[in-house]
């Protein structure tokens, strides 16, 4: 029961994180589209500063997502054979190996 609840909590957290990523990308893009034709005041324009910050945030988030995805695939690719061998080794017993025990 506890494992099922833990799995449900992880799934819920993953869904919330995905929704947050999508919201950040959508709202920042909508803000840029809305403010694309703003009246720029020059060097210290706050709207231009916001747009630069949003672009930087999107780049950092996309880099983080790609890095996390690559690391996940790489670790799964590297750890899968090791875990499979460990599981096979754990299943070995005198009965499964058909060892005759003479006492």
Dump pLDDT digits (tens) for 33-86. Answer: 888 888 888 888 888 888 888 889 888 888 888 898 899 888 888 888 888 888
* Burial 16-54, CB ≥16 within 10 A → b, else e: eeeeeeeeeeeebeeeeeeeeeeeeeeeeeeeeeebeeb
pLDDT confidence of residue 19: 92
pLDDT confidence of residue 103: 65
Does the structure show a pLDDT above 70 at 21? yes
pLDDT confidence of residue 50: 87
More confident position, 47 or 95: 47
Q: Global pTM?
A: 0.56
């Amino acid at each position: 029961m506890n494992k099922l609840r833990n799995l449900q909590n992880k799934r819920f957290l993953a869904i919330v994180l995905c929704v947050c990523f999508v919201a950040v990308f959508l709202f920042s893009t909508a803000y840029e589209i809305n403010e694309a034709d703003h009246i720029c005041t020059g060097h210290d324009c706050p709207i231009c500063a916001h747009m630069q910050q949003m672009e930087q945030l999107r780049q950092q988030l996309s880099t983080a997502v790609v890095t996390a995805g690559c690391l996940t695939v790489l670790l799964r690719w590297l750890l899968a054979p090791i875990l499979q061998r460990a599981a096979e080794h754990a299943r070995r017993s005198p009965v499964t190996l058909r060892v005759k025990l003479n006492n």
